[in-house]
Structure 1
Amino acid sequence: MSVSRLWRGFSSRLPINQTLLSYRRTWRQPQRCIISYSKTDGEILTVKQMRKKMVEFTGAQKQWSLDGKNADRSALSSLLAQDQTGLEPRKISDSYDEICIPLSDPVQRDKYMNMYNSIRIGRILEDIDMFGVWLCYRHSKPAKAIEVSPLVIVTGLVDRIDMSTIDIIPDKDLRLTGHVTWVGKTSIEVTINLEQMIDSSYSKILEAKIVNVARDPLNKRPAFINPLVAESEEESEELIAGNARKVARQERSKASLLKTAPVTEEREIIHKMFVESLPVGASSFSHRIKPDNATWMDETKLKNVIICFPQERNLFNKIFGGFLMRQALELAFASATLHSHGRIRIAAIDNILFQKPVEVGSFLFFLSEIAYTEGCYMEIRVHSEVVDPRTGEHDTTNVFHFTIVTENPVPLVWPKTYGESMLYLDGRRRFLEYKRINQVTDTSTVSLTF
C-alpha cells in the first residue's frame, strides 16, 4: 500500500498541533502508537546481550584501539544500495523486539539506583537510545549471506518523551518494546515503550519517538534505508502519523525564535515583565529590581564539564548519544532540585537534536538554566558544547529541553536581557505544548508519589 498516496488523502485531517504524543495517566491522545505486537522469534535479550549482538552484527571494535585506529569497514561500501528502490520493503513487524532491563538482578540494579531508592531515568535513556539503534538494524537487516551490516546507524533526534505518573518498582525487571513507525530515504523513526509488570499486566511508564539516521560504513555520508510498507489499515494510519510528525518538526523549526520574531502576545508579556522589574517611579531603564517570589534567570545556571573517555564510546568510537542525554538530564535534575528545594519528577523531554558527533578525548561543557516556571512546573534548558582540547574550537552538540514537576509551586524566573527573554518565551511555548498534550489545566497543585 502506498504511504504517499494515503498521506495525500488523509493529511488534511491531521492537524500539525496534534502530532506529539500524550500519555499522562490515561494515554488518551489519538496520535499514540496504535499497533500492538508481541515477540515470537527467540528469547528476550537483556540490554547487555543486545549490545553484544549489535557489536557482532556491525563488525564494531570490541575494545578501544590503542593506536587510535577504527575497524576498517571500507570494503562494506560495495554492499550499499545506490537507490532506495533497490532495497526490499520491510513490514512494521519485522523490526519489533523486546528487551529486558534486569532490575531484579542486584548487581545490575546498582547502576540504575539513585539516592532516593528509585530509578535513575538518565540510565534508562541510555538503554532507550541503544535499543532504538537496535530496532533500526533489525529493520535494515541484510540477506543471510551478509554477516555484517554496511550501515552506521546514529541517533539524529529525540522527538519527544513523555512520562506517566506510574512509579517504577526498583527491584522488578523493566521491559522495552519497540518497532519502526516511519521511514524516509535515509532516516528512520522508532517508537519505544518502557513498561513494567504491575498487578499481573504491563503498565506503560513512558513512550519515546526517536529519529535515527543511516550512514555509509565510514560514517561520512547518508545511506539509503529499506522502505516501510503497511499490511493493514491500522499500520497505514501509523505511517501517516509518522509523516505528520515529520511535517510538525519542520513547522516547529520554521517558527523558532532564532528565525522569527515573537508574536504580539509574547512581546506584551516581555514588556510587562520588564516594567514590573523597574523601581516604583523610575525615570530610566538602567536599574532593575527582582519581583517578589522570583529569581533572576541567570541565577539558576549550573555548569558541568565532562572529559570524554573511551568507556563512553558507541559502536563506532564516537561518544554515545545516550551518555550525553544522561549527563544533561542529571544536570537539569540538580537545577530543578536546587530551585524547588524538594523532590522532583521528570515529566517530559522535548526535541533533542544531535548536531555534531563528539570525539573521544573531547571536553563537554554543559550549561543548564531554568527558562520558565508555572506553578509546580519548570522548563529547563541544557546547552551542550564540545571543545577540542588541541585546538580550543567550540561547537554546540545539543540543546536539551526538560519539563520537570514538583509538589509545591516554585519561584518564578525573571529574564534580564533580550536573549534571556527569548529563552523565557521558548520555554513558555514548550510548556503550553506540554499542557495541551497532557491535558493539564491546574499547575498550582500536583500530587506526586515517590
Structure 2
Amino acid sequence: MNKPTLYKTVDATRISISELMQPSHSNFNGKIHGGYILNLMDQIAFACASKHSENYCVTAAVDTVNFRKPIEIGELVTMKASINYVGGTSMVVGIRVESQNIRTGEVKHSNSSYFTMVAKDSDGKSIKVPGLILKSDVQVKRFLKAIKRIESKKTRQIEFEGKEFSRENYMNVLSEHNVKLEID
C-alpha cells in the first residue's frame, strides 16, 4: 500500500469542468434551475476533495451559495474548484461558476460557494486528509477566510443554541426588522 501524501499544493487538486446548458436544465422562467447548478457543484466538490484526500468523500455542509447572475439555456457553464482549507478529516472546496454566451463570448460570474467535504474510509469512518501547501497570497486569504467562516458558525451555534439564549436579549434587533412576534 502506498504511503499517503502528507501535503499537497492547491494546484495539485484543482479541477475544472464545462457543460453546455440544455433546455431540460431550465426552470419555469426559462433560466437554468439553481438546483441543477447545485448538483453540478456538489459533483465537482466531490471530485476535488476526493482527488486531494485520495479517498471517497461526502458533503458535510454547503456554505454561502451566492446566485449572482442567471444562466441562460445554450450557455457554456464552467466550474472551477480548489481546496481552500483542510482540517483533520475535512476540506473546504471553493467553487466558482462562470457562464459564457457562446455567440458573443461574454463570460459572467454566475455562482460561488463553499462545500465542506469529509474523507471516509471503506468502513465509512472519517479519515485524516493531507495538509495544504499554500503558494500565494490569494491561497493564504482563502484559507484564512475559511477559518473565519468556521469560527463564525461556531459562535452562532453557541449564541443561539446555548441554554442561556433568551429572545428578550434580541428585542432591539427584532424591532429593526419586518417581523411581528405572536408568541404565547
Confirm whether residue 346 of structure 1 aligns to residue 65 of structure 2.
Answer: no
Q: Which structure has greater strand proportion?
A: 2
Q: CA separation in 1, counterparts of 2:77 and 2:56?
A: 27
TM-aligned CA deviation for residue 296 of structure 1: 1.2
The alignment yields a C-alpha RMSD, in angstroms, of: 1.7
| 1:365 pairs with one of 78, 82, 101 | 78
Tell me the residue number matched to 1:426.
145
- Moved runs in structure 1, 4+ residues, more than 6 A? none
The answer to whether 1:388 aligns with 2:105 is no
1:417 CA drift (Å): 1.2
Distance 2:12 2:147 in 1: 19
Write the distance in 1 (CA, Å) between the matches of 2:57 and 2:153. 17
Report % sequence identity: 28
The whole-number CA distance in structure 2 between the counterparts of 1:405 and 1:310 is 34
Which residue of the partner structure matches residue 42 of structure 2?
Answer: 329
CA contact (8 A) 1:307 1:364 kept: yes
Q: Kindly provide the amino acid, as one letter, of the partner of residue 322 in structure 1.
A: G
SS in 1 for 2:36: helix
Q: Please show how residues 265-304 of structure 1 align to structure 2 within 5 Å.
A: 293-304=6-17
For structure 2, list consecutive stretches of 5 or more residues without a partner in the other structure: 120-125, 159-184
2:117 to 394, 398, 404: 404
SS at match of 1:344: strand
Give the TM-score taking structure 1 as reference length: 0.32
SS of structure 2 residue aligned to 1:391 = coil
Question: Aligned partners of 2:90 and 2:153: how far apart in 1?
Answer: 11
**Alignment partner, residue 415 of structure 1:** 134
Q: Specify the SS of the correspondent of 1:404.
A: strand
Distance 1:342 1:349, change over 3 A: same
Which residue is equivalent to 2:166? none
1:308 and 1:361 in contact (8 A); partners too: yes
Per the TM alignment, residue 434 of structure 1 is displaced from its structure 2 partner at its CA by 4.4
Q: CA deviation at 1:438?
A: 6.4
Aligned with residue 314 of structure 1, among 27, 44, 50? 27
Conserved? CA contact 2:48–2:82, under 8 Å: yes
Give the C-alpha shift of residue 376 in structure 1: 0.5
Letter in 1 for 2:13: T
Contact 1:379 1:431 in 2 (8 A): no
* Structure 1 position 425, deviation (Å): 1.3
Q: Secondary structure at the match of 2:135?
A: coil
Q: Give the partner amino acid of 1:330.
A: Q
User: 1 CA distance for matches of 2:55 and 2:157?
Assistant: 23
Aligned length, in residue pairs: 148
- List gaps (5 residues or longer) in structure 1: 1-291, 440-450
User: Could you give the per-residue CA deviations for residues 254-299 of structure 1, whole angstroms, max 9, x where no partner exists?
Assistant: xxxxxxxxxxxxxxxxxxxxxxxxxxxxxxxxxxxxxx82111122
CA contact (8 A) 1:403 1:431 kept: no
Per the alignment, do residues 295 and 366 of structure 1 end up closer, same or farther by CA in structure 2, a change over 3 Å counting?
same
What is the SS of the residue equivalent to 2:129? coil
| Structure 1 segment 8-47 matched on structure 2, within 5 A | none
**Bigger CA radius of gyration:** 1
